[in-house]
Structure 1
Amino acid sequence: MATEKTSEELLRGQAEIWQHMFSFANSMALKCAVELRIADIIHSHGGTPITLSQIASCIDNSPSPDIPYLARIMRLLVRKNIFTVHHSLSDGSGSESTLYGLTHVSRWLLHGSDLSLAPMIVMENHPWTVAPWHCFSTCVKEGGTSAFEKAHGRDVWDFASQNPEFNNMFNDGMACTARIITRAIMTGYRDEFGCIGSLVDVGGGTGTMIAEIVKSHPHIKATNFDLPHVIATAPLIDGVCHVGGDMFKEIPRADAVFMKVTSCLLIINL
């Protein structure tokens, strides 16, 4: 019995290792769905489930898409509840059609939506952003610098300042999460903004979050503060002054400052 139990545990352990080994495939398939705009294609048909051929025919810059390859990717995404799958008989011929639809998850992949994580998915799964994850063992052995510096020879801010493509991709990713968080802030912290005369968003990126606050509270004198190379790409926003600088050296004066660190928000009344 002990031998059987040990063999079962070993087999279960092996299965778990295989799952961990290929867990990256979920992120890559998700990135593929965003790049091909699969959720947008289904949404453009009124959100009604459609066939693989219909999806394939709407993929941009793809004169002859590989439908069997697309089918394998969709099979994985369906298994992860990103999309739904339906089987139905078509036009009395007796043949069966496979249709793919949206879920509450895939609606977060729609481009141009206020509640979209598509830019963040692209950013987080780009080779530039994934490369540091391959440097964990080097960080443990050598220490001294971040995984990003190990991978690219400079920190993320310096890399962004020298690489406009990465800078824009990073800013787009941050902006999409800022829109989502701002909606929650404006619901739960609405009344408190009424007593603030001036506000600084420290590390505000291109100003997405503070723009939404000023839109609801136009009396606020707002400053969007970030590194110069970030501010250089920020659009003009009514009621918002963009200021470039280093928060470790000096922050513009205001009644209050706030800072978003990934999914956390810190608001300080001065």
Structure 2
Amino acid sequence: MGSGETYAATQTEETLTLQGQADIWKLIYTYGDSMALKSAVELRIPDIIRRHGGPLSLTQILAGISDAPSPDITCLARIMRVLVRNKIFSAQEASDGGDTLYGLTHSSRWLLTESGSEPSLAPLVVMENHPLRMASWHYLSQCVREGGSAFVKAHGRDVWEFGLENPEFNKRFNEGMACTAKTVMSGVISGYKDGFDSIGSVVDVGGGTGQTISEIVKSYPHIKGINFDLPHVVAAAPKYEGVTHIGGDMFQEIPHADAVFMKWVLHDWSDEDCVKILNKCKKAIPEGRGKVIIAEIVLKPEGQGFFDYTGLLVDLAMLATCNGGRERTEPEWKKLLQEAGFPRSNIITVNALTSVIEAYPI
């Protein structure tokens, strides 16, 4: 190797080493992105800008925050700087040379909360970054060493028991899950197209407060919708036209319907528990013509799609939250369904974080 090649190799190694260091620094502080995002939601900054009808200065944004007795414009500027860098907000110099003006982007429109702004991911931002929710993430390494549930290690009980005993946490959790209904279901309903046409009734297992099944019924008014979840969950469910709320335990019995629908339910559970749930689903649908419709992430670890890397992070969220919960790859889904007595399945990609998985018992 000549001196030129040696020099080039040395420079390449130095560059890779520096890049490696930079990557670690970035990962160390990535939580700052989530915290800045949460701050914007809590301060209702996207709503303030939209209400005004156009970009605002920092002073104008502060004036729109109703509960700010001692506003700190420097603090806001530093948070907005990070959010602009992440393209959550735009920043442009005023035409008269005055203060920088901050506007909405395609991203911040997903953080609007005021009437007429649905769908919104704002409640999910607050829920996922809730201190009680975040506590279990600190136990992942301990789970590697000794197994067990990170959430139980953090709180002494599983997430379902914790929600039952903590109304405020339960409210945040339900709001976070409900907001995903319109966001995810918009992609599911448009992408699944004719999948609900021939179905007279659908039971949404683990349907929370009923937002998801209400979206299905709204798009397919001929469907009789059943929202099925734990009694304390459906007790807080509002009324929806065409939807009946039923409380119960999916491990014991599921209400009968032409089809079972589940969105982000099976990822909460181990394979063993999923087989039990799916067996109950099979008993709930008509023999020979029923089907189970599953809206879940299908992991693509090397994928480059819009949501592929997010799927890996959601898988870690399951590790931090649920005992045995996980996201699954296509082969893992096929294997799980076959073990549960669903030899025929079909995966449909839609414009959402989840895919649609049809499963048939024959």
**TM-score by structure 2 length?**
0.69
RMSD (CA atoms): 1.8
Aligned-partner Cα distance in 1 for 2:360–2:199: 8
Residue matched to 1:68:
74
Name the stretch that deviates more: 1-10 or 22-31: 1-10
Residue matched to 1:160:
163
Supply the AA of the counterpart residue of 1:163.
N
Distance 1:183 1:7, change over 3 A: closer
Query: What is the deviation of 1:213?
Result: 1.7
Asked if residue 114 in structure 1 is aligned to residue 156 in structure 2, the reply is: no
Matches within 5 A, 1:75-154: 75-90=81-96, 95-112=97-114, 113-143=117-147, 145-154=148-157
Name the stretch that deviates more: 215-224 or 200-209: 215-224
Find the residue that maps to 2:94 and give its secondary structure: strand
Distance 1:20 1:128, change over 3 A: same
Distance 1:244 1:268, change over 3 A: farther
Distance 1:50 1:192, change over 3 A: same
Find the residue that maps to 1:49 and give its secondary structure: coil
Kept in 1: contact 2:230–2:247 (CA 8 A): yes
Asked if residue 219 in structure 1 is aligned to residue 225 in structure 2, the reply is: no
Aligned with 1:237 (options 230, 236, 240): 240
Query: What is the deviation of 1:185?
Result: 2.7
Kept in 1: contact 2:49–2:104 (CA 8 A): yes
Distance 1:127 1:177, change over 3 A: same
Supply the AA of the counterpart residue of 2:166.
N
Residue matched to 2:56:
50
Kept in 1: contact 2:228–2:246 (CA 8 A): yes
Supply the AA of the counterpart residue of 2:92.
H
Deviation digits for residues 193-233 of structure 1 (CA, Å, limit 9, x no counterpart): 23111110011110001112222323222110111121111
Distance 1:249 1:264, change over 3 A: farther
Query: What is the deviation of 1:244?
Result: 1.1
Find the residue that maps to 1:223 and give its secondary structure: strand
Supply the AA of the counterpart residue of 2:99.
S
Name the stretch that deviates more: 165-174 or 3-12: 3-12
Query: What is the deviation of 1:183?
Result: 1.6
- Which consecutive unaligned segments of at least 5 residues does structure 1 have? none
Kept in 1: contact 2:192–2:356 (CA 8 A): no
Find the residue that maps to 1:96 and give its secondary structure: coil
Aligned length: 264
Aligned-partner Cα distance in 1 for 2:359–2:13: 56
**TM-score by structure 1 length?**
0.92
Identity across matched positions, percent: 58
Supply the AA of the counterpart residue of 2:78.
R
